[in-house]
């Protein structure tokens, strides 16, 4: 039986040209939402929209950098013009340069924060303002389990995602009494396009079966599993979940990984 938890809701998903964003666009649309699909690469955004429409869903493409304030204002205006409103904003756009602390440049650090933190801030600011004035809504931000403790990612990426967790909490408090909820999802190791090099290298070494073995489920995650959590938070099923950083990681953050 097809769920329609998001029927009648209008959603924006950034970073939706591939991976978690694409999976979320498909999931949201399958549950009845109309989706503005946002990404920097026009051809990838168009592919996602085509996939949504082929599956019978409703979606419109919007190519833009989600860390630019004017673009965020424009995408919200476009969503309202196309669909008549906005109830869900999934700020999923992110980047990770990688590299050791002593090899990262200040410019790389700042760029990581621009994409990961500024984009989330702008989503919370502008979507929160609209939702506050129109009865409420749900803002969801993609973070990472790398935000919780060391050795999960490089310094810039991990620190930026920790900032995202704090943003979700503080934004939820600033929007108190408005029926606007703000939450962060913390994925573990997910098989996305952005992780292709890691997975390809493991397969070349014959070690692909070791990926994800540090978590109690002993496997990697799929973008659809993060999309499922996003759909829950976007729906009324998540109506009492607010200001939270929710790990979706196979349990890797529940313990010291060495014991597995």
**DSSP codes joined into one string, 21-57:** HHHHHHHHHHTT-EEEEEES-HHHHHHHHHHHHHTT-
Inside any domain, residue 207: no
Inside any domain, residue 5: no
Inside any domain, residue 246: yes
Q: What is the pLDDT of residue 195?
A: 60
Inside any domain, residue 200: no
Q: What is the pLDDT of residue 9?
A: 98
Instruction: List the CATH number of the domain containing 239.
Output: 3.40.50.720
Tokens linked to 259: 């014991």
Q: What is the DSSP string of 188-257?
A: -SB--GGGHHHHHHHHHTT-GGGTTTTSTT-S-B-HHHHHHHHHHHHSGGGTT--S-EEEESTTGGGS-G
Inside any domain, residue 204: no
The catalytic position among 157, 163, 167, 189 is 157
Q: Per the structure, how many domains does the chain have?
A: 1
User: Which is it for strands 137-142 and 10-13: parallel, antiparallel or unpaired?
Assistant: unpaired
Q: Is 157 a catalytic residue?
A: yes
Q: What is the pLDDT of residue 192?
A: 78
The residue range of the domain holding 168 is: 10-192+221-250
Tokens linked to 129: 């303002």
Inside any domain, residue 206: no
Query: How many residues does the structure list for the chain?
Result: 260
Q: What is the pLDDT of residue 259?
A: 46
Per-residue pLDDT of the chain (260 residues; tens, 9 = 90+): 467 999 999 999 999 999 999 999 999 999 999 999 999 999 999 999 999 999 999 999 999 999 999 999 999 999 999 999 999 999 999 988 667 889 889 999 999 999 999 999 999 999 999 999 999 999 999 999 999 988 778 899 999 999 999 999 999 999 999 999 999 999 999 987 766 555 555 566 655 566 667 788 888 999 999 999 999 999 999 999 999 999 999 999 988 655 43
Inside any domain, residue 122: yes
Q: What's the rounded Cα separation, in Å, for the pair 49 and 131? A: 25
Inside any domain, residue 92: yes
Closest CA to 115 of 42, 14, 16, 189: 14
Provide the whole-model pTM: 0.93
Taking a C-beta distance cutoff of 8 angstroms, is the pair 42, 50 a contact?
A: no
């Amino acid at each position: 039986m097809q769920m329609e938890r998001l029927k009648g809701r209008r959603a924006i998903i950034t970073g939706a040209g591939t991976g978690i964003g694409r999976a979320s666009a498909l999931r949201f649309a399958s549950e009845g939402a109309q989706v503005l699909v946002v990404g920097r690469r026009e051809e990838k955004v168009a592919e996602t929209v085509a996939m949504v429409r082929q599956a019978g869903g409703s979606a419109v493409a919007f190519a833009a950098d989600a860390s630019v304030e004017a673009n965020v204002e424009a995408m919200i205006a476009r969503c309202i013009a196309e669909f008549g409103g906005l109830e869900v904003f999934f700020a999923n756009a992110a980047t990770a340069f990688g590299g050791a602390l002593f090899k990262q440049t200040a410019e790389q650090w700042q760029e990581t924060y621009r994409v990961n933190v500024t984009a989330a801030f702008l989503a919370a600011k502008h979507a929160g303002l609209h939702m506050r004035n129109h009865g409420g809504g749900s803002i969801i931000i993609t973070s990472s389990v790398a935000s919780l403790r060391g050795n999960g990612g490089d310094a810039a990426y991990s620190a930026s995602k920790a900032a995202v967790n704090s943003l979700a909490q503080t934004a939820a408090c600033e929007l108190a009494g408005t029926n606007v909820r703000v939450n962060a999802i913390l994925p573990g190791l997910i098989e996305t396009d952005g992780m292709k090099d890691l997975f390809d290298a493991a397969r070349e070494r014959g070690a692909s079966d070791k990926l994800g073995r540090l978590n109690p489920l002993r496997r990697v995650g799929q973008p659809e599993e993060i999309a499922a959590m996003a759909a829950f938070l976007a729906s009324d099923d998540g109506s009492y979940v607010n200001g939270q950083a929710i790990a979706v990681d196979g349990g890797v953050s529940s313990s010291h990984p060495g014991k597995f």
